[in-house]
Structure 1
């Protein structure tokens, strides 16, 4: 019965972009991973990496509601998101911070031959398993890596499984191996609060995967 219920919900699912726009407009937030101890863990890892590697520019594909970003120490930051509503909210939240810029992202209407959207570090935090459509997933991964001058950091699950209408876990490392063979995994950081199905609000499937380009 649970499988049939999930199948029914999947058939009614309107799509990744619509889901997040409706969620944010309805007063929802980015999710438990962007709040409290999970957000603090992510910020600790990311701020340490940026400081250690003297990163000056960061771009994030899926900036969300800005709660995670509020914990970040990035010299210069570009945030992209599929939700126009949440970009408007981030614009107001960080109105006095000249180091941050925000843009609406549409994977099918994003062409950057001029390489305007580039940074030393390209980020994807708790996003990949929300990309339900295969074409959107492929475009997103392409843009994520194309935007990186030195490093890509992905914080996500890395296995294949559909668990909810808006959640499709993907073994993204296979995509990287096939489509970006010149990028190598240099560090894997397990979650400090690994997934526990009996404590869903305080644990996560996501882990850190840090890539760098092996040849230019």
Structure 2
């Protein structure tokens, strides 16, 4: 099919997810539309409310991006992890006067944990299977109590899909690889949805 040929050509020129995001930020790009406006506000309201209700004292996010979404966050303590050196530099500058927030490159991550681990608009940008596997393992291993994911959850791809997008049924991965975690809440969004997981030893959500 012509559509498959076009997409194959796009993918053949794709430099890889890590290099793609580094180039994007270095050239003045941002984290994407979901980190601005109504979508960013919607996500912040859900997460800030969850943090407040459940007494979350520490948050770690894998894929903090340029920090625009984080401007709306209300977390007691925060660690932001990203694959892009340019993104980390932007965040460190943006929040330089905030001692409650620290930022680290993924390559410098040494297993820090927090009560809540976040993944916002990241999973469907993990094109390579090995990158996806490592990311998901880090995300759930870093969470002491809860994981919040904002993502698509389908394996349906479209021919006009950008090369830095690959949709996955990530909940299947969680069920297979993280049996001590279970999904306890779903919140419909726009282009993606919220999925909230908890460890088996954590008491039920009210």
* TM-based fold match above 0.5: yes
Unmatched tracts of structure 1, length 5 or more: 195-203
Q: How large is the Cα RMSD of the aligned pairs?
A: 1.2
Instruction: Provide the rounded CA distance (Å) in 2 between the counterparts of 1:105 and 1:94.
Output: 19
The correspondence for 1:209, drawn from 192, 195, 201, is: 195
Aligned to 2:99: 98
Aligned to 1:169: 167
Report if the CA contact (8 A) 2:184-2:196 is conserved: yes
Instruction: Provide the rounded CA distance (Å) in 2 between the counterparts of 1:94 and 1:214.
Output: 35
Q: How does 1:119-158 map to 2 (within 5 A)?
A: 119-158=114-153
Instruction: Provide the rounded CA distance (Å) in 2 between the counterparts of 1:215 and 1:100.
Output: 28
Instruction: Provide the rounded CA distance (Å) in 1 between the counterparts of 2:102 and 2:31.
Output: 19
Instruction: Provide the rounded CA distance (Å) in 2 between the counterparts of 1:64 and 1:130.
Output: 12
Q: Which of 161-170 and 55-64 deviates more?
A: 161-170
TM-score, normalised via structure 1 length: 0.89
Unmatched tracts of structure 2, length 5 or more: none
How many aligned positions are there? Answer: 198
Q: Tell me if 1:2 matches 2:3.
A: yes
Instruction: Provide the rounded CA distance (Å) in 2 between the counterparts of 1:46 and 1:7.
Output: 37
Q: How does 1:29-178 map to 2 (within 5 A)?
A: 29-106=30-107, 112=111, 117-162=112-157, 163-178=161-176
Give the drift of 1:111.
5.0
Instruction: Provide the rounded CA distance (Å) in 2 between the counterparts of 1:70 and 1:103.
Output: 17
Instruction: Provide the rounded CA distance (Å) in 2 between the counterparts of 1:110 and 1:67.
Output: 22
Give the drift of 1:126.
0.2
Structure 2 CA distance for partners of 1:25 and 1:12, relative to 1, 3 Å: same
Give the drift of 1:3.
2.8
SS in 1 for 2:60: strand
Instruction: Provide the rounded CA distance (Å) in 2 between the counterparts of 1:184 and 1:63.
Output: 24
Instruction: Provide the rounded CA distance (Å) in 1 between the counterparts of 2:44 and 2:141.
Output: 24
Instruction: Provide the rounded CA distance (Å) in 1 between the counterparts of 2:166 and 2:132.
Output: 10
Give the drift of 1:123.
0.3
